[in-house]
């Protein structure tokens, strides 16, 4: 696995999201943020996540999707339960994954972070394939960018987020990238 100068990972399936913009010119990428997502909540394997990140989610196709009708979000990466890696936004650009957030007193985490979504839920164990791909991706990104910290969404937005949840094994993950 390799990352090019624009921040495109060669082994990822690329699905372009319009929900991104330029990073501030002086913003070095120093943070990885791990999230989870499933659409509809608790259901895995459908195309809802891709449709959400590309603004193609049909809000009438599921009652939960009505709550997402005007939401414009993205992440740099999604790791499916199977281990498939998708990239929605090149790392050189700012994905809209963190929302209102701060890390170490620095607000606006989208400016200086890369967002990695795991297909999952707070209370559902992640798969071996997801841990394997996440570790490989984290190692590659750490070699390409001056990443200092790897945190969960709950760490940068504790009053509104809980992901990646109690089911994420931080010890296992940290041991795999040491």
Encode pLDDT of 141-169 as tens digits.
999 999 999 999 999 999 999 999 999 99
- List, by residue number, the catalytic residues: 117
CA pair distance 33, 152, nearest whole angstrom? 5
Angle at 86 between CA 125 and CA 71, to 5 degrees: 85
Structural domain contains residue 30: yes
CA pair distance 23, 70, nearest whole angstrom? 23
State the residue range of the domain holding 50: 13-177
Structural domain contains residue 39: yes
Structural domain contains residue 5: no
Structural domain contains residue 135: yes
Q: How many Cβ atoms are within 10 Å of 136's Cβ, its own excluded?
A: 17
CA pair distance 128, 65, nearest whole angstrom? 29
- When divided into structural domains, the chain yields a total of 1
Please count the CA atoms within 13 angstroms of the CA of 73 that sit on its side-chain side: 21
Q: At 108, which CATH number? A: 3.40.80.10
pTM score, two decimals?
0.97
Structural domain contains residue 2: no
Structural domain contains residue 6: no
Structural domain contains residue 152: yes
Confidence class for position 53, pLDDT limits 50, 70, 90 = very high
Structural domain contains residue 8: no
């Amino acid at each position: 696995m390799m990352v090019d100068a624009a921040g495109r990972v060669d082994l990822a399936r690329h699905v372009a999201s319009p929900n991104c913009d330029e990073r501030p010119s002086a913003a070095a990428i120093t943070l990885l943020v791990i999230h989870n997502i499933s659409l509809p909540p608790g259901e895995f394997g459908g195309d809802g996540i891709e449709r959400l990140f590309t603004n193609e989610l049909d809000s009438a196709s599921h009652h939960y999707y009505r709550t997402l009708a005007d939401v414009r979000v993205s992440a740099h990466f999604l790791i499916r339960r199977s281990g498939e890696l998708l990239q929605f936004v090149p790392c050189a650009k700012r994905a809209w994954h963190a929302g209102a957030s701060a890390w170490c007193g620095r607000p606006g985490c989208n400016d200086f972070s890369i967002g990695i979504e795991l297909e999952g839920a707070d209370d559902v164990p992640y798969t071996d394939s997801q841990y394997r791909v996440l570790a490989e991706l984290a190692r590659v990104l750490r070699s390409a960018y001056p990443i200092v910290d790897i945190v969960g969404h709950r760490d940068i937005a504790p009053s509104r987020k809980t992901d990646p949840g109690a089911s994420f094994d931080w010890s296992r993950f940290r041991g795999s990238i040491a």
